[in-house]
Homo-oligomer: A and B are copies of this chain.
Amino acid sequence: MSVALSVEDLLEAYRTMRTIREFEDRLHVEFAKGGIPGFVHLYAGEEASATGVCMNLNDHDHIASNHRGHGHSIAKGVDVHGMMAEIFGKRTGTCRGKGGSMHIADFDRGMMGANGIVGGGPPLVCGAALAHKLRGTGGVAVAFFGDGASNQGTTFESMNLASVWKLPVVFVAENNGYAEATASKFSVACGDIATRAAAFGMPGVTVDGHDFFAVFEAMRIATERARRGDGPSLIECKLDRYYGHFEGDNQNYRGPDEVKNLRANKDCLQRFAKALTGDHGIAAESLAAIDRDVLALIEDAVAQALAAPNPEPADLLTDVYIKY
């Protein structure tokens, strides 16, 4: 790693990763209880990607996310209480209960929205990046998308447009091996998604998405390039999801013990914790303290979400320009 992160940074990264994990694990439980409506796609297992990427960003930078957006949102600083309430559909939610898990957005944090449309986000970040460029803010915009989305025309077009316009964009392909029940081995004709960068005249790199440091470093380079005005980059994070495509998926398309082995051998949080307590000499108790904080936070977020009111009937007709 060519840039030293401070202990505070590292602990913040740990807190973010732990918050995402706890948030998702808890949603898994709450969903099974029947309390959560709709489609819910969990990010557990992929925390190092969102965190390693967003640690390079500030509040003025932008991200656009996808259907699996909780991790990106948390890493970008969206309020966890608001998110939890939103996922429960409550009026106190980030989107006042009108969006749900697939549509969490917070423009004050530069979070342009999760997205129910695969490939919906990449064009949008080109626009955010264009705004940064025209205003000379030095800001960056990031598109998170999956291996499945890497085959969507909108994604390809956006890479070309960002390159042609030399936009400060970073394309982060989170390759978790599956798009629903279809393997990326089948759907991505060229194997590594990073290979596609050459088709758009930009640098591309594949990193181990379980390794916070690898993601952080790739993103550091890409972000610097973008802020310098040299244009977009593509980073492919190879990683794994721990739960099904959405809650309810029995994952019969995965190998026997696939997830068990991943959890045991590749877990990004364990690996990060080990690095912190090892190389970086951070006391295990510091991490344990964060774990307790996070647990309490999520506990509180769920309790508040459960207690929060539903939207008012009148909310049905607000936030759209006119009634008919």
Give A contacts to B, CB under 8 Å: 151-157, 159-160, 163-164, 186-191, 195-196, 198-202
Nearest 9 interchain pairs by C-beta: A153-B153, A163-B189, A156-B156, A199-B199, A189-B201, A196-B199, A190-B201, A153-B157, A189-B200
So how many copies of this chain end up in the complex?
2
Asked if A198 and B202 sit within 8 Å, CB to CB, the answer is no
Asked if A157 and B156 sit within 8 Å, CB to CB, the answer is yes
**Between-chain CB contacts (< 8 Å), 20 pairs:** A151-B157, A151-B160, A152-B153, A153-B154, A153-B156, A153-B157, A156-B157, A160-B187, A160-B188, A160-B189, A163-B189, A164-B187, A189-B199, A189-B200, A189-B202, A190-B198, A190-B199, A190-B201, A195-B199, A196-B199
CA–CA, A155 and B155, complex, Å: 12
Min CB gap A299→B, angstroms? 44
Q: What is the chain B residue whose CB lies nearest that of A155?
A: B153
Chain B residues whose CB sits within 8 angstroms of the CB of A163 once the complex forms? 189-190
Chain B residues whose CB sits within 8 angstroms of the CB of A160 once the complex forms? 151, 187-189
Asked if B201 and A199 sit within 8 Å, CB to CB, the answer is no
In the complex, which of the residues A160, A188, A201 has the most CB atoms of chain B within 10 Å of its own CB atom? A160
The one of B152, B189, B195, B201 in contact with A164, judged by C-beta atoms closer than 8 angstroms, is B189
Chain B residues whose CB sits within 8 angstroms of the CB of A200 once the complex forms? 189-190
Chain B residues whose CB sits within 8 angstroms of the CB of A196 once the complex forms? 199
Q: What is the chain B residue whose CB lies nearest that of A196?
A: B199
The one of B152, B159, B201 in contact with A157, judged by C-beta atoms closer than 8 angstroms, is B152
Q: What is the chain B residue whose CB lies nearest that of A188?
A: B160
CA–CA, A1 and B198, complex, Å: 30
Min CB gap A170→B, angstroms? 16
CA–CA, A199 and B160, complex, Å: 13
Chain B residues whose CB sits within 8 angstroms of the CB of A195 once the complex forms? 198-199
CA–CA, A106 and B104, complex, Å: 50
Chain B residues whose CB sits within 8 angstroms of the CB of A156 once the complex forms? 153, 156-157
Chain B residues whose CB sits within 8 angstroms of the CB of A159 once the complex forms? 189
Chain B residues whose CB sits within 8 angstroms of the CB of A201 once the complex forms? 189-191
With A151-B160, A164-B186, A196-B199 known, 18 other A-B pairs at CB within 8 A are A151-B157, A152-B153, A153-B153, A153-B154, A153-B156, A156-B156, A159-B189, A160-B188, A160-B189, A163-B190, A164-B187, A164-B189, A189-B200, A189-B202, A191-B201, A195-B199, A198-B198, A199-B199
